[in-house]
Amino acid sequence: DAGVTQSPTHLIKTRGQQVTLRCSPISGHKSVSWYQQVLGQGPQFIFQYYEKEERGRGNFPDRFSARQFPNYSSELNVNALLLGDSALYLCASSLGDREAQYFGPGTRLTVL
Amino acid sequence: GEDVEQSLFLSVREGDSSVINCTYTDSSSTYLYWYKQEPGAGLQLLTYIFSNMDMKQDQRLTVLLNKKDKHLSLRIADTQTGDSAIYFCAETGPSGTYKYIFGTGTRLKVLA
């Protein structure tokens, strides 16, 4: 069975630009969560979606937004990129909103 | 506050046992998790323990939970060079939230 997939693998943007990251959950999983992992740190929670509704939001500015589609895939959008947004963005899926989360390989975003 | 603490580094010889420790803050956490991250990769779920359990064993992995002291440990028996990675513990967020709170990770180096 395919695991969580994310695209693109790597991305380079400049300050002020906008970026969209994509995630496809494990088949049958209805919940998707997004995390930001800065080099040398543990992942920080950004959002969780379950059945297309936002279930949780971390301490991130409004420049970060997300949505979940009817097929349970998800997009994370970041506007007005800052240098500090450079990180590995991880998507995790779970059967339900409180089940164990399985992570994808991540998207490495570099902001110049 | 929300703070999961781990020691930064651990070095062991191949064939020895490794013990990675973690302290967490939220006594209401329902589950506690251990993830493994290899260089440039996402997080791999290793095991998890329900908060009303003291111990869980899964092949070479043993998880011990001391709820009174909010202390979690992961023991890897017969450690192999392929076990070299960063290990993260995570707790579920405060009741009513759906996020995971991760520690800073312990880098395990296995010496041949």
Whether A44 and chain B come into contact, CB under 8 Å, resolves to yes
How far, in Å, are A9, A102, B18 from residue B100 at the CA level? 23, 12, 24
- What is the residue-averaged pLDDT of chain B? 91
Q: What is the pLDDT of residues A45-98, one digit of tens each?
A: 999 999 999 988 999 999 999 999 999 999 999 999 999 999 999 999 999 877
Of the listed ranges A15-29, B20-34, B88-102, the least confidently predicted one is B88-102
pLDDT-derived band at A30, boundaries 50, 70, 90: very high
Question: What was the pLDDT predicted at B2?
Answer: 62
Q: Which residue does chain A place closest to B37, by CA atoms?
A: A105
Say if the Cβ atoms of B88 and A58 lie within 8 Å.
no
**Average pLDDT of the segment spanning A14-32:** 97
Question: What was the pLDDT predicted at B99?
Answer: 83
Residue with tokens 């991540």: A106
CB within 8 Å of B73: residues ≥ 6 apart: B19, B20, B21, B22, B63, B64
Map residue B83 onto helix, strand or coil: helix
| Residues in chain B within 8 Å Cβ distance of A42 | 4, 88, 90, 102-105
| Residues in chain B within 8 Å Cβ distance of A102 | 45
Question: What was the pLDDT predicted at A90?
Answer: 97
Higher pLDDT, B95 or A67: A67
Map residue B101 onto helix, strand or coil: strand
Burial class (CB in 10 A: 0-12, 13-18, 19+), B64: middle
Region for B15 from its dihedrals, namely left if φ exceeds 0, alpha if ψ lies in -120 to 50, beta otherwise = left
| Residues in chain B within 8 Å Cβ distance of A50 | 98
Question: What was the pLDDT predicted at A54?
Answer: 92
Q: What is the pLDDT of residues B40-89, one digit of tens each?
A: 889 999 999 988 889 999 999 999 999 889 999 999 999 999 999 999 99
Q: How far is B15 from chain A (nearest CA, A)?
A: 27
User: Which of A26, A39, A44, A101 to mutate to probe the B interface, most B CBs <10 Å?
Assistant: A101
